[in-house]
Chain A
Amino acid sequence: MLTDRLRSMFRKESDPVSYHPQLAADQSTAAMRAVAAASARGKTQRGASPPITRQSRGIEQFFFNIRDVVGLSVLDCAGANQDNIDFLINLGHKVYSQDLVRNLDDCFQDLTEQTNPSRIEYFLKQNFDYPAESLDGVLLWDSLQFMSPPLLNATVERLYEVMTPKSYLLAFFTATEKMTEVPAHSFRIADAKTIVITERGVRPAGQIFNNRSLEKLFTRFESVKFFLTRESLREVIVRR
C-alpha cells in the first residue's frame, strides 16, 4: 500500500497506469471483470497488494503479431483463468494452459534441485511435451526468471523446438539487477493492450538478468525485443 502511494505521487498525468478501484471510464468490461476477480482473490490473501491494471507493450506486440490469424495454438503459462481463456478463445485460437510457476514448485524443492539433469528432463516432459513446431505462441509471463541457469537454458531450448518458425513468445524479467528475491505475479489479459497484474508474494530469483544476458539466452531465436516498464520489469518479445 505505501509503495503504491509513493508511486502514485510520482506518476505523470499521461501515465497509462491506473490503479483499482479508480479505473478509467473507458476500461473494457473484460478489464473490469479481470480486476474484480483479481481483487477478490487478493482480499483472501493476507498482505496481498491490490491488482494493477496497465497497458503492456509486450502483450500489445504479441497480439499484433498474430492479428488476422485464427486457429493458432497458444500456450498460456499463467495458470488457467477465465479472462485469459476467454480472450484467446474469442480470437479463435486453441488454448493450452498451465501454471508454470506452480509446476516449478511441484517439481523442485529449491533452486539447487533445478540443476539436477534428471529432474530437469522430468520437468520438461511434464510441461513442454508438445510435438515439434506445434505451438504458435507462448505466454511465459514471469515464470522464466525463477529458473536456475541449467533449467532455464534447457527450457528455452525446448521452447525453440516446440514453437513454429516465426512464432512469438512473451516473457517478463525483473530489471532490478541486485535483488535475490523478486515479486511473483499473476497475470490476466484485459484486452489486446492491457493486463491486470496481482502480486502473489516473492520468490528467489534464478539469476540476475540484463539485456545482454537475455540476448544470449535467446541466441538461437530470430529476434529479441525489450520493453522496460515503470515497475522495473523487462517485457521481452522473442521471435522464433
Chain B
Amino acid sequence: MSSTPFRTPDADPRNAATIGKSVKIVGQIYAKEDLYVDGDVEGTIESHENKVTVGPNGRVQASIRARDVIILGQVQGNVETSDKVDIRKDAKLVGDITTSRISIEDGALFKGSIDIKKPEPKSAPAPAMPVAAAAPAPRPVEPAHAASGATGGR
C-alpha cells in the first residue's frame, strides 16, 4: 500500500477524448481512451483501462470508474479506481473513494470515505513440471550359445 505522495500527470486534452466546458452530458459515458471532462456531466463515467481527468471547469455529478482519476474541478459522486486518485488543491470531491493509492493536495476539499483496496496479484504461469530423466534402455540379453561359442552336436 503506497503512501508516497505523487502527482499524476494531467491527461493532455489533445491526446484524450474531451468534454469541453460548454458541454453538458446527462447519461452514461464509456471511454476506451483517456477522458478529459471540463464541462458538466450527470450520470456515470467509466473508463476502466484509462485515466479520467476532471478539469478545473468540470462539474461532475456522477460515479466515476477508471484506472486513474485526477480531479481539479468538482465531483459529487463515488470514485473507484484500480490504481490511483489524485485530488488537486482547488478541487472538491463529495463521495466515497475506492482505490489503491490516493493523493490529496492541501487546499482540496474532500468529504467522504477512503477505502484502500490492494490490487490483486497477477496470476503467474504455472511452473513447468521437471521431466524425469529417461532410464537407459536395458541391453538386450544374448542367447547363451552365442555367448559361449558352443557348437551344436557331440
Interface residues in chain A, defined as those with a beta carbon under 8 Å from any beta carbon in chain B: 33, 37, 40-41, 73, 79-82, 85-86, 89-90, 94-99, 102-103
Given A86-B3, A89-B1, A90-B3, answer yes or no on A97-B110 (Cβ-Cβ < 8 Å).
yes
Query: By the criterion CB–CB under 8 Å, are A85 and B111 in contact?
Result: no
Decide yes or no whether B28 CB sits under 8 A from chain A. Answer: no
Decide yes or no whether B43 CB sits under 8 A from chain A. Answer: no
Decide yes or no whether B17 CB sits under 8 A from chain A. Answer: no
Stretch in contact with the other chain, from B59-67, B112-120, B141-149: B112-120
For residue A98, which residue of chain B has the nearest CB? B111
Given A41-B106, A82-B103, answer yes or no on A89-B3 (Cβ-Cβ < 8 Å).
yes
Chain B residues, Cβ within 8 Å of A86: 3
Chain A residues, Cβ within 8 Å of B31: none
Decide yes or no whether B102 CB sits under 8 A from chain A. Answer: yes
Cα-based distance from A185 to B142 in the complex (angstroms): 101
Chain B residues, Cβ within 8 Å of A97: 110-114
Smallest beta-carbon distance B76→chain A, Å = 13
Smallest beta-carbon distance B6→chain A, Å = 10
Smallest beta-carbon distance B145→chain A, Å = 83
Query: By the criterion CB–CB under 8 Å, are B106 and A81 in contact?
Result: yes
Chain A residues, Cβ within 8 Å of B109: 79-80, 99, 102
For residue A188, which residue of chain B has the nearest CB? B106
